[in-house]
Structure 1
Amino acid sequence: MMFRSAKINSFRTWGLLLTMIGMGLMVLGTAGIVFWGQAGKIVAAVGLIIGLIAMVGSLGIYFWAGMLSTSAVQLQCPECGKLTKMLGQTDRCMFCRTILTMDPAIANITAEALEAQQNQSSSKG
């Protein structure tokens, strides 16, 4: 529970991870030419193609997170007082990770009870 973050931040983290993986594959693929000469060209081609696919995936995730961010509800966190964005029924503050909700039915339950409730509802459907 300590490492949970806001939904928009987790989308951006996955986008950054794909960017780093894509760039790493491109660099390692190109290094194949240095290590294996002519035979390394195949390794370079495969690394560059898979890296390009990862970079395009990253672009898609960043675009999707940006579009979600424009329609997110902005509210002031009751814990830290900073302006944050909320997606869905419940989300976490982007700064202090406090659980936020607009639903009065679940506004006073603990974090553990909320996670248990969400896990039960996701396993049913």
Structure 2
Amino acid sequence: MAKTYSNKINKIRSFALALIFVGFIIMYGGIFFKESPIVMLIFISLGMLALMFSMVVYFLIGMLSTKAVVVNCPNCEKPTKILGRVDMCMYCREPLTLDPNLEGKEFDENYNKKSSTTQNKA
């Protein structure tokens, strides 16, 4: 099965959205423990922590998004943001790079890592 790639900013935003739903599910799980207020309080507190962590993630990706490089996708002609050396278009999932050494090569997220093995690939 082929590995699907997506834009890094969208991945992080999806993670933060999932945290919101998980937080609500945890808080609603506390309803099953109405008889024990301590356990119910623990569930509600854990759910609130997940919601607060989601808020922090949204804030951090917003700050990171302001520093991302905006380019026009050659495929769909829409402006998209790139984080790292390689990324995908937010709209049409076209592989994009700002590194001229990587142009024409197959897309690999490992090009963003600063290890010696990815440097040897290039």
TM-score, normalised with respect to structure 2:
0.84
Q: 3-state DSSP class of the match of 2:115?
A: helix
2:25 maps to: 24
2:14 maps to: 13
Q: 3-state DSSP class of the match of 2:48?
A: helix
Structure 1 pair 63/123, CA: closer, same or farther in 2 (3 Å)?
farther
Aligned AA (1:62):
Y
Where has structure 1 moved over 6 Å in runs of 4 or more? none
2:53 maps to: 57
1:109 maps to: 105
Q: Which runs of 5+ in 1 are unaligned?
A: none
Percentage identity across aligned positions? 38
2:115 to 96, 109, 121: 121
Where do 1:33-72 residues align within 5 Å? 33=34, 37=35, 39=36, 41-72=37-68
Q: Distance in 2 between matches of 1:97 and 1:68?
A: 20
1:81 maps to: 77
The count of aligned residue pairs is: 117
TM-score, normalised with respect to structure 1:
0.82
Q: 3-state DSSP class of the match of 2:84?
A: coil
Asked if 2 retains the 8 angstrom alpha-carbon contact of 1:84 and 1:94, the reply is yes
Asked if 2 retains the 8 angstrom alpha-carbon contact of 1:75 and 1:86, the reply is yes
Structure 1 pair 20/95, CA: closer, same or farther in 2 (3 Å)?
same
Asked if 1 retains the 8 angstrom alpha-carbon contact of 2:86 and 2:111, the reply is no
Write 1 or 2 for the structure with the bigger share of helix. 1
